[in-house]
């Protein structure tokens, strides 16, 4: 199963981390897309570190990040700096979606 997690707020980092690790432990893939205030998590090492977990893909909305002044320098290239197209792709590919 592929789990998509749309992160549009910066209030649920522990839940995002916990859900990601729980899904991976069950053999599922996880796709994370951050937009709006969720892009603020790009400044949190524990969020960024999720990209190191096998089975996780991550992307974020560049427009949202720039609009909020989020520092994206140093974000690993494996975390795709994208657009709502990446969100649409995740929604299409995911078997289940969670929005936090």
Could you state, in order of their start, the residue ranges of all structural domains in the chain?
2-99
Phi and psi at residue 26, in whole multiples of 5°?
A: -95, 5
Q: Are 12 and 100 in contact (CB under 8 A)?
A: yes
**Whole-number CA gyration radius for the chain:** 12
3-state helix, strand, coil in the chain (%, to 5): 45, 25, 30
Walk along the chain (100 residues) and give the pLDDT tens digit of each residue.
Answer: 999 999 999 999 999 999 999 999 999 999 999 999 999 999 999 999 999 999 999 999 999 999 999 999 999 999 999 999 999 999 999 999 999 9
pLDDT at 71: 95
Residues in the chain: 100
In the chain, the DSSP E strands lie at: 2-7, 29-34, 56-61, 79-82, 96-99
Under 8 Å CB-to-CB from 67, ≥6 apart: which residues? none
Number of other residues whose CB lies within 10 A of the CB of residue 98: 16
Q: What's the topology of domain 2-99?
A: Hypothetical Protein Ychn; Chain: A, (3.40.1260)
The span from the CA of 85 to the CA of 18, in Å, is: 26
pLDDT score at 3: 98
């Amino acid at each position: 199963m592929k789990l998509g997690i749309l992160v549009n707020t910066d209030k649920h980092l522990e839940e995002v981390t916990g859900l990601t690790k729980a899904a991976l432990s069950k053999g599922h893939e996880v796709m994370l897309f951050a937009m709006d205030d969720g892009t603020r998590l790009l400044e949190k090492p524990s969020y960024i570190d999720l990209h190191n977990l096998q089975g996780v893909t991550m992307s974020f909305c560049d427009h949202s990040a720039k609009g909020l002044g989020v520092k994206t320098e140093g974000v690993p290239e494996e975390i795709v700096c994208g657009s709502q197209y990446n969100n649409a792709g995740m929604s299409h590919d995911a078997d289940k979606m969670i929005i936090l």
